[in-house]
Structure 1
């Protein structure tokens, strides 16, 4: 249901992406919140990890933002062996924060 709620805002994503991308970038680079840099190389990020794949060309790889949203929300549903924390399921990030991170990742 959460994926449906998050994907419902996809129609407004282009207009929202420009305003939310800075918030998403801040969250993705924040070592205490999103912390994407712990595992991923992201252009513009300092001291990235290499456990996960480099985050680039994600809009091409995931043109439907709901798939990327679902990965961040709970990657264990798709890949039970993942090391990626279920950010949404474990309430590490809110739905709005996940959406902002997706907005940012789609600009890479």
Structure 2
């Protein structure tokens, strides 16, 4: 095999490695964005009502946010709760963050990514 014939194989191997590393970096970025939004008192504001590990001055109106990946293995259910919990529980005090356009779908998705790490 010549050096020239090895180059395509090397490029394929590098592309495969890059493809596996990229989602991990993107996932870490989404989790960091979600944490920032969840703790942001002017945006997600989750700490107003919920205890979240690492958060300062949490509220106690809502449940503590922990073990959410095991409670909600389908991330779409957790997304729907944040988007508009009134559909599932009309008596909730939780604002419909998506329906009222407090958070975008992308922001809610990042928060879900973060919450699933707790």
Q: Does TM, normalized by the shorter one, top 0.5?
A: yes
- 1:66 aligns with 76
Shift of 1:18: 2.0
Gaps of 5+ in 2: 1-22
- Report the equivalent of 2:33: 23
What 5-or-longer segments of structure 1 have no aligned partner? 1-13
Which of 52, 55, 69 matches 1:45? 55
- The higher relative CO (CA closer than 8 Å, separation ≥ 6) is in 1
Paired residues of 1:41 and 1:53 also in contact (CA < 8 A): yes
Tell me, in whole angstroms, the C-alpha distance in 2 between the residues paired with 1:87 and 1:72: 6
* TM-score normalized with structure 2 length: 0.78
Would you say the 8 A contact 1:17–1:104 is kept in 2? no
Task: Using the TM superposition, give the Cα deviation of residue 24 of structure 1 relative to its aligned residue in structure 2, in angstroms.
Answer: 0.2
Corresponding position of 1:57:
67
* CA radius of gyration, larger in: 2
1:35 matched to 2:51: no
Q: Which residue of the partner structure matches residue 92 of structure 2?
A: 82
Q: Number of residues paired by the alignment? A: 95
CA distance, structure 2, for counterparts of residue 17 and residue 32 of structure 1: 24
